[in-house]
Copies of this chain bind each other. A is one copy, B any other.
Amino acid sequence: MQTNPMLQQLNFLREIDRLKSVIRQSPLLDQSRKENSAEHSWHLAMYALLLHDHAHSPVNLMRVIKMLLIHDIVEVDVGDTPIHSGASQQDQALQEQQAAKRLFGLLPAAQAAELHDLWCEFEAASTDDAKFAKALDRVQPLLINVATNGGTWAENNVSLEMVLQRYGPTIERGSPALWAYCEQAARAHFAAKA
Residues of chain B contacted by A9 (CB below 8 angstroms): 50-51
Residues from chain B with a CB closer than 8 A to the CB of A7 are 181
Is A147 an interface position by the 8 A CB rule?
A: yes
Please state if A29 and B17 are interface contacts (CB–CB under 8 Å): yes
Structural contact, B21 and A32, CB atoms closer than 8 A: yes
How many chain A residues touch B (CB < 8 A): the figure is: 44
Given contacts A17-B29, A32-B21, contact A143 B10 (CB under 8 A): yes
The interface bits of chain A over 15-59 (1 if a CB of B lies within 8 angstroms of the residue's CB, else 0) are 011111100000011101001101101110111011100100000
Q: Is the CB of A29 within 8 A of B14?
A: yes
* Residue A154 at the chain B interface, CB threshold 8 Å: no
Give the residue among A6, A35, A66, A177 with the most B Cβ atoms within 10 A: A6
Instruction: Give the number of times this chain occurs in the complex, counting copies.
Output: 2
Q: Which residues of B contact A47 (CB under 8 A)?
A: 13
**A62 touches B (CB below 8 Å):** yes
Q: Check if A177 sits within 8 Å of B20, measured CB to CB.
A: no
Taking a contact as CB atoms under 8 Å apart, the answer to whether A50 and B14 are in contact is no
Of all A-B residue pairs in the complex, the 3 with the closest CB atoms, nearest first, are A42-B42, A38-B39, A17-B29
- What are 18 A-B interface contacts by the 8 Å CB criterion? A6-B51, A6-B54, A6-B178, A9-B50, A13-B46, A16-B43, A18-B30, A20-B28, A20-B39, A20-B43, A21-B28, A21-B30, A21-B32, A38-B38, A38-B42, A39-B39, A46-B70, A62-B62
| Seed contacts A17-B28, A65-B65; 17 additional CB < 8 Å A-B pairs | A6-B178, A7-B181, A9-B50, A14-B143, A19-B39, A20-B35, A20-B39, A20-B43, A21-B28, A38-B39, A38-B43, A45-B69, A46-B69, A46-B70, A49-B69, A50-B107, A62-B65
